[in-house]
Chains A and B, each alone.
Chain A
Amino acid sequence: MKWFWCLFFAFWPIVAIVVCLLAPGNNWWFPGEAASPLGRRIDDLFYMILWITSITFVGTQLVLAYVLFKGASDTEPGTANEKAWFSHGSHKLEVIWSSVPAVILLFIAFYQLDVWAEYRVKDAFPRKRMEAVFERIHQDRQKNDSLALAEVTARQFEWRIRYPGFNADGTLKALMPDPQPTDLYAVNDLHLPASAPVMINLRTQDVQHSFFLPELRIKQDAVPGLVIPIWFEADQQRSYQLLCAELCGWGHYKMNARFVAESDEQFIEYLRQLEREQNEDRVDDAPDTDEEE
């Protein structure tokens, strides 16, 4: 029986590892490659930690299995020693197995700092590249205007999105902190330019939500009372999943939305279309370029 148990404990880590190895092939893995530069760095970090932990896992489980087999064979009848090995520990070993993990852990800790900084620390935001986007889409902005292109307001249970409207001369207005009469609205459908860092202002109308773009590895809580800027950069022009990751009530799972990354022209065209739809008065000959207030 004891051999069965030895095998049992040796067997399960093998199953675990096999499952993990099979996982990517069965699509039990990340929802696609990270689709943003920051996401790729997060993935790299993940894989690095995965390597370290996998080696540790295999190592410790191997040793565990070994000591079990050793213990089982030592208790076979007729083994040399009647008593177990009498040892209260080894100072040297303790030092080794304290300092080696310490070094590895500290390495992990410091290795990740700049990724974190880039994601969250304001000074590390790619401000220059964001401003280049504003140039390209002809946004009419003052120096202190928000870097955000849209304001995403979470509420139970949907994402309400507010874009700035257009000026009379066709340029895009800057996003104001307060709603403006010219603002354009959408729900559960966030469109932003691709291949460049774009920023949104995240807020919530009621309880706490969390803005989660799994394919871009972006997650940020929307905290009641705060307006939190977040930036992300989608490589490809396609639509990405957007969901809520913080329990926000019974309909938490319902906050199904999408983020569409598209070219600058498509983005402007999308806003134009929103403007047209929003000014729909169902009279065919109505000039749809009217500046609405």
Chain B
Amino acid sequence: MSSVAATTETAEHGHHAHNDDLLALLKAAPFWSTDHKVIGIQFMMTTLLMLMVGGALALGVRWQLAFPWENMPFFGALVPATAGGQIPPEFYTMLFTMHATVMIFLVIIPILAGAFGNFLIPLMIGADDMAFPMLNALSYWFMWPAIACFGCSFFFGGGPAAGWTSYPALSALSQAAPGSGHAQTFWLLGVTFVGFSSMMGSINYMTTIINMRAPGLTLFRMPLTIWSMFITAILQAFALPVLTAAGFMLVTDRILGTCFFVPAGLIVNNADPTVGGGQTLLWQHLFWFYSHPAVYIMLLPAMGMVSDMLACMCRKPIFGYKPMVYSMSAIAGLGFIVWGHHMFTSGMNPALGMTFMISTVMIALPSAVKVFNWIGTIWGGKPEFNVVFLNCIAFVSMFIVGGLSGIFMAAVPVDIYIHDTYFIVAHFHYVLFGATLFGVFGAIHFWYPKMFGRYMSEGWGKLHFFLTFVGFNGTFFPMHLLGVAGMPRRYADPYLYPYLEHFLPMNQFMTICAALMGFAQFILIGNFVLSWFFGKKAGRNPWNANGLEWATPSPPGHGNFDIPPVVYRGPYEYANPDTEADFWPQTQPPNPAT
């Protein structure tokens, strides 16, 4: 990524002296850099690339659901099928497995924590760089072995076909799923590498945030973005080792013949009966102990960033700063004790189910508080309806839907019915795509001037937003109805079942919307790349924002701050009647007159 950037930029160099500092950085170290900004941008490029890959995989899934057993255009030729381009069912399982894997492990988690976490944390707390720059660089470069492993698993050995949740015994027995021979092992190694990457990042973020804040930046003067990154880092540090360990156990089950997750006597694909005395439910407990907090890892940073953006765009202080911090902490804390709600139908102890149900219901509360506070923030603001603001509103609006549909799942008896149906798919896409990705799109437009010293195109940004929003709702809203109708997820052909036959047109509509949405992402990528060269130039503080990062040049040079920052107040002093301007940067010394 950055090498391309460096070479192309060299040509432009003379004309754009403004970009000098960052370009110098990129030129000096096209690949390897320990500068947090370069790493952040590297993360951004990689994840945007992966976003396209994951989207293409999803379109494969959608194709099969809309036109089952039809020959697939374009991708059909790549499918190892004798049936021309028909997606065989085992390839379908690989498609959705890899879609989830890429989107979760290679897009959402790294774009939030990796790209924005890296870029923003030192800038927003007034530090020169991360506490451990080398570790930081490693956390990026550990992404690539992970990508390689996932790639290997997909293209060699048949592809992992046990879903991203990889429940044993399907994932533990190499005969159980097609291609789970080496593919599943590669997949687990990939997850482990991603785990390393995240772990390095999270240690770094915690240390940096605790130790390297600028003078005067007390904990409760930190922007909510930093709070959310901090809480995310804690979540990651405590939940991730569980998954990594469980992944290792599963690898040993697969290649060393241990039986942590495999009970005795299973006969799969005519192999000899298994001998072990393991428990498949153990994997589910361990997996969800990580993966439920992971849902918040995939959400909290977006919540933090949206809070900052909303305040700035509405020219108004955030409504209820402390309740926001507390509710984020509450989400994180409760997030550790709700994993069991993924297992209500798995036959675990019903009393345990009741406990999990109550904690799950209660986790809706801090989320609700946050939504109310965002609305409170917009209330009485003077918003400029630009791309950033629109994406933030979309975030709030979609998060309401995702949050409310979560309540259905929290109710155990209802969950019995909608578990593993498209209702769940709708729910988590509303949260992870509808909320998080709209937040991310907003954040890309918001911080782009800081990254590259130029604005992204407003018009193309709005077109992208419009298409994505329409496409997104057209794709995922009908999924609620599919879920209520009892259409199970991960079905290659739901129309075998008479009670689902009439959903074919709806699925076709959804697929068209999904294609529209996929197309819209090319606009984003185009806008992102072209604005780098042709965007309107931006100054230090293009949005008239208060945060510390806007006190640096755009883009910031190595070491970030040309004037060492001192913090005098919180980050949300917009529209303060005491000041002349409607914003009051954190670094501006108090007016001696008042």
Contacts and interface: CB of A to CB of B under 8 A. Distances in A.
Interface of A: 1-2, 5-6, 8-9, 12-13, 15-16, 19-20, 23, 27-32, 41-42, 45-46, 49-50, 52-53, 56-57, 60-61, 63-64, 67-68, 70-72, 74-75, 82-90, 93-94, 97-98, 101-102, 105-106, 108-109, 112-113, 115-117, 119-121, 156, 205-208, 210, 212, 214-215, 217-221, 223-226, 228, 241, 243-254, 256
B383 A75 contact: yes
User: Closest 7 CB pairs between A and B?
Assistant: A225-B263, A85-B380, A214-B486, A89-B320, A250-B90, A2-B385, A120-B350
A84 B358 contact: no
Contact of A101 (B265, B365, B384, B482): B365
Given A57-B401, A84-B582, A105 B365 contact: yes
Contact of B393 (A52, A57, A68, A98): A68
Interface magnitude class on chain B: 35 or more
A24 B490 CA distance: 24
Interface string B470-502: 000100011011101110101111101111001
Given A74-B380, A246-B420, A247-B170, A83 B267 contact: no
Contact of A42 (B265, B417, B582): B417
Contacts of A23: 481, 484
B60 to A, nearest CB: 15
Given A71-B383, A75-B383, A253 B314 contact: no
Contacts of B107: none
A249 B400 contact: no
Contact of A28 (B322, B417, B506): B506
B357 A71 contact: no
Given A67-B378, A223-B281, A84 B575 contact: yes
B477 A19 contact: yes
Given A15-B473, A23-B484, A60-B375, 5 more contacts: A64-B378, A83-B575, A88-B317, A109-B410, A249-B177
A45 to B, nearest CB: 6
B503 to A, nearest CB: 8
Contacts of B443: none
A250 B177 contact: yes
20 contacts: A2-B385, A12-B469, A19-B481, A28-B485, A29-B481, A30-B485, A42-B416, A53-B404, A53-B407, A105-B362, A109-B361, A109-B411, A206-B176, A206-B268, A224-B169, A245-B419, A247-B93, A247-B170, A249-B177, A256-B497
B476 to A, nearest CB: 11
A75 B382 contact: yes
Nearest to A248: B170
Give the residue among A6, A32, A223 with the most B Cβ atoms within 10 A: A223
Contact of B408 (A53, A113, A121): A53
A207 B411 contact: no
A71 B411 contact: no
A164 B410 CA distance: 38
A215 B466 CA distance: 39
Given A70-B380, A208-B280, A252-B491, A9 B486 contact: no
